[in-house]
Amino acid sequence: MKTRILGRGLEVSAIGLGCMGMSQSYGVIPDKAAMIPVLRAAVDRGVTFFDTAEIYGPLVNEELVGEALEPVRDQVVIATKFGLRMENGEQLQDSHPEVIRRSVDGSLRRLRTDHIDLYYQHRVDPNVPIEDVAGTVKDLIAADKVRHFGMSEAGVQTIRRAHAVQPLTAVQSEYSLWWRRPEDELIQTLQELDIGFVPFSPLGKGFLTGAIDEKTTFTPNDFRNIVPRFSPEARKANQAVVDLVRSIAERKRATPAQVSLAWVLAQKPWIVPIPGSTKLSRIEENIGAAELELTDADMREIEAAASKIEIQGGRYPDALEARTGL
């Protein structure tokens, strides 16, 4: 597996693994005992970058990642997140310094480690100055509980303010061929500040794999049931982007997922996508994207075709979208 550098020195595999789906959001939750060998097999295949969060589960995803990776802890980079909690069934933002300090100790315990490699603020808390958040993480870095600071779904001005207090190593946000808002100003800002970019949902929550169409049904507890972009009408309209990557894939003897990931990787050398999966076969497929080279001509072809496709439907319900910092 090729590696890439996030920020000013965090080396990770060119493709990471998002672990959220092993504990929530995408239908039937797999058995924990089945996921431990999948995570360890990913390490065997060269993945060194694993993404989890306190809120995933909640809590149980960190426990899974901690148990699975404990035997290989010195070989991997673990990223987790603070700042979201559940209360009466509602997800709330809370990044008060005392909450961050409690959160890090809980995460360290569940992850079975003495340090967190990359600690993200999961969502910007409008009730806590970002300088206070960054300052608290700076203290945790000084205490060697945390090695690197990150933010997720933050706007560029907030990123600048945080970075002035404690330099950021990475910013995480959604980015793919069907969600390209980071191109408006985020990517340019990260390049200016020497901050790495970690796209989540680089396969469009599974849509860009080509395995989903307007006839696909999701289990009742699958998050995609409430996502406007996954309504049957939107899926039918958005099939054009899958047709695009499939046409490139056939020529490259690759899969639509590999072309979609290779497109993300080709944008900048400091971008590291974290596709999620619960299946080792899919992880192996995704890893293959790191070896797929898209030429300048391929990229121009994709851009020309994509510019004519208008993606239908929001990526989140309005209430959830409003909670992002973008």
In this predicted structure, the answer to whether residue 301 has a pLDDT above a threshold of 80 is yes
Domain 3-203+268-292 class in CATH: alpha beta
In this predicted structure, the answer to whether residue 325 has a pLDDT above a threshold of 90 is no
> What pLDDT, on the 0 to 100 scale, is given for residue 39?
98
> What pLDDT, on the 0 to 100 scale, is given for residue 316?
83
Q: What does the pLDDT look like over 10-68, one tens digit per residue?
A: 999 999 999 999 998 887 899 999 999 999 999 999 999 999 999 999 999 999 999 99
> What pLDDT, on the 0 to 100 scale, is given for residue 80?
98
From 56, 119, 120, 175, the catalytic residue:
56
CB 163 within 8 A of CB 169: no
Task: Give the burial class of 137: count Cβ atoms within 10 A of its Cβ; 0-12 exposed, 13-18 middle, 19 or more buried.
Answer: buried
Q: Catalytic site residue 316?
A: no
In this predicted structure, the answer to whether residue 230 has a pLDDT above a threshold of 90 is yes
In this predicted structure, the answer to whether residue 269 has a pLDDT above a threshold of 90 is yes
> What is the rounded CA–CA span in Å between residue 325 and residue 261?
25
Q: What is the mean pLDDT of the chain?
A: 96
> What pLDDT, on the 0 to 100 scale, is given for residue 311?
94
CB 26 within 8 A of CB 224: yes
